[in-house]
Amino acid sequence: MKTKLLFVVLCCADFVACKNNFDAIFSIEGEKLGEVYYGNTKTQEFKYDNHGRLITDESKYSYYSYTYLSGKRRIVKKIYTDPGFLSSSSTIVNQTLNRKEWVNPLNTPQYAELRYEFDSGNRLVRSEEVTGYSEYEYGADGRIAVRKLYHNGAVTGMHKYSYDVRGNLIRREQYSGGSVSSVTEYQYDEMKSPYFGLIPDRLPGYNTSPNNIIHEKYTVYNYPKAGDESVLTNIALSYQYNSLGYPTERNDGVRFTYLK
């Protein structure tokens, strides 16, 4: 009887530890990104729960909320965005661009609900999106190496990812029809990124890179015809930092403020 009781206690302890571990990986320790400004205008605000997990990402044109379902190892992301951006009328689009009130669930209809599913090792394995879903494959380094995009059960595209020794994403290759359609390349500083681990979906990008992007190059291939190559983005960024190594200003006019 004592053996059975000990077994039950251990199983319960393992379950609680596993559940708490899932919650803990989304908690931001120390300083948290609070607001983002462009010049003197606030453009984005982040809010957290008592566990230090991001619960809303708010701006004038969009509002994202996050719900953590520990028992199902799932995160639900609700998206609210001004429908005026989807209009074919330039008048409506301009009205949307000039709106005064920020988007929130009380003044804007929900656009979509996305779901992110994790395995017992807290790895993202599937995401349900607006028009389909994605599945993920991992490399020997434990990071996402491949993202396969599906629509109606068929693969419609693929992303491949490469990282540096610090875990920064340095190359994203996007494939369509079996061939590469675009490549984005990144270089980084050695300081702390305010976005690292912030967005709980864990999709490879600035959110999974521990350092700040200082150079980004985006190249499109085979457009408008086979063999064409066009560099659409080639930007250099620099920062000023606080005493803890987080950026406070960027050379393009963006400023960052933090919460304790």
The SS3 of residue 25 is coil
Distance in angstroms (rounded) separating the CA atoms of residues 230 and 196: 30
Pick the CATH number of 2-259 from 2.40.160, 2.60.40, 3.30.160, 1.10.260: 2.40.160
The reported pLDDT for the residue numbered 19 is 46
| pLDDT tier, 97 (very low <50, low <70, confident <90, very high otherwise) | confident
Q: Percent of the chain beyond pLDDT 70?
A: 90
Enumerate the domain spans of the chain: 2-259
Alpha helices, H only, 54-104? 90-97
Tell me the per-residue pLDDT of 49-65, one tens digit each, with 9 for 90 and over: 999 999 999 999 999 99
